[in-house]
Amino acid sequence: MRIGLLDTWLAGRYLPFWEPYLEGLGLELVRPEPVEPSLPIFLPASLVAAQVSNLKAQGVDYLLIPDAQGDIQSERGGAQNPWIFDLGASLARYLPGLPPMLRVPAHLSPDLVGFVAEVGQTLTKNPMLTRRVLDKTQYLLQHTPPLPKNPSSNRSVGIVTLPMVQEDPRLQGGLVEALQKAGLSPFWPDIPPSRLREEGRRVEIPLDLPTDLEFAGASRYLSRLGKVKALIYLMVPGSDPIPSLTRKLARRVHKPHHTLTVGEDWSEALAELARQVGE
């Protein structure tokens, strides 16, 4: 049996468990070939769509698809964007005829052990094998992704973007290089996602989705760091209604800030930001 894996959309958060677990069950893991996002939809979802189409062409039996939002029901913030709210359902609507999806949480936790065992037994029809492999890999459910390492600089600019963009440089439009060319140093949120969500809950904007809370939490956290001199809100095509949330967050920031969109010319905005940050 062949299982197709993504290498985007928070893959670094859940694959450290699922890869060794599925391999231990004797399943063949198939990874996407290099592809480019081409569909005119939410940019991270466009990359996912290209990858699942490639995996379908490779003849996988199942697609492992992350669920970033869990069972939360909401009509606020990113929930108004079907791709952000429910990636799996949106893929099924947009790309009919895909292989069956194994939808797994885009986070790891020891609380998932029952769910993990159920998936293993469904795929292998072998409870003893599933239990044996789970005993060997269960500790990986406690895995936490490494935090960004930010360089020391007196010209640091905090970057606020959705987590699926932050964790995939292919979706950032060359922002890091553009900042460095302007004499600025990128500074990413360097606390765990759970703490970012806690920060987001302290923002006086009603939000429900975990990815929205991380986005808002990044804004609050970076705006309070003295070593961060300014903020950039990085948007990607197709991210509505996140730009509206960005405007609400930016009104609470007392530092220079600019909103940039991937695919647009940033030269004037970055030159102005460099002037605002100063020497």
Q: What is the mean pLDDT of residues 126-138?
A: 98
Q: End of a domain among 142, 167, 196?
A: 142
Query: Which band of pLDDT confidence, cut at 50, 70 and 90, is reported for residue 228?
Result: very high
Does one domain contain both 124 and 200? Answer: no
Query: Which band of pLDDT confidence, cut at 50, 70 and 90, is reported for residue 48?
Result: very high
Does one domain contain both 121 and 190? Answer: no
Predicted local confidence at residue 279, as pLDDT? 63
Does one domain contain both 244 and 212? Answer: yes
Does one domain contain both 107 and 130? Answer: yes
Does one domain contain both 123 and 194? Answer: no
Please give the model's pTM, rounded to 2 decimal places: 0.96
Number of residues written out for the chain: 279
250: buried, middle or exposed (CB in 10 Å: 19+, 13-18, 0-12)? middle
What are the CA-CA distances from residue 97 to residues 57, 93, 100, 162, 199 (Å)? Answer: 11, 9, 9, 29, 40
What would the pLDDT profile of 100-131 be if each residue is shown by its tens digit? 999 999 999 999 999 999 999 999 999 999 99
Count of the separate structural domains present in the chain? 2
Does one domain contain both 134 and 196? Answer: no
Does one domain contain both 138 and 171? Answer: no
Q: Which of 58, 60, 51 is nearest to 22 (CA)?
A: 60
Q: End of a domain among 96, 111, 142?
A: 142
Q: Does residue 254 sit within a domain?
A: yes
Does one domain contain both 8 and 112? Answer: yes
Predicted local confidence at residue 168, as pLDDT? 98
Predicted local confidence at residue 223, as pLDDT? 97
Query: Which range of residues forms the domain containing residue 100?
Result: 2-142
Q: What is the mean pLDDT of residues 84-92?
A: 97
**CATH number for position 122:** 3.40.50
Does one domain contain both 132 and 209? Answer: no
Q: Does residue 148 sit within a domain?
A: no
Predicted local confidence at residue 278, as pLDDT? 84
Q: Does residue 56 sit within a domain?
A: yes
Average per-residue pLDDT for the chain = 97
Q: Does residue 82 sit within a domain?
A: yes
Does one domain contain both 135 and 166? Answer: no
Joined together, the tokens standing for residue 101 give: 């999806």
Q: CB–CB of 175/182 below 8 Å? A: no
Q: Does residue 93 sit within a domain?
A: yes
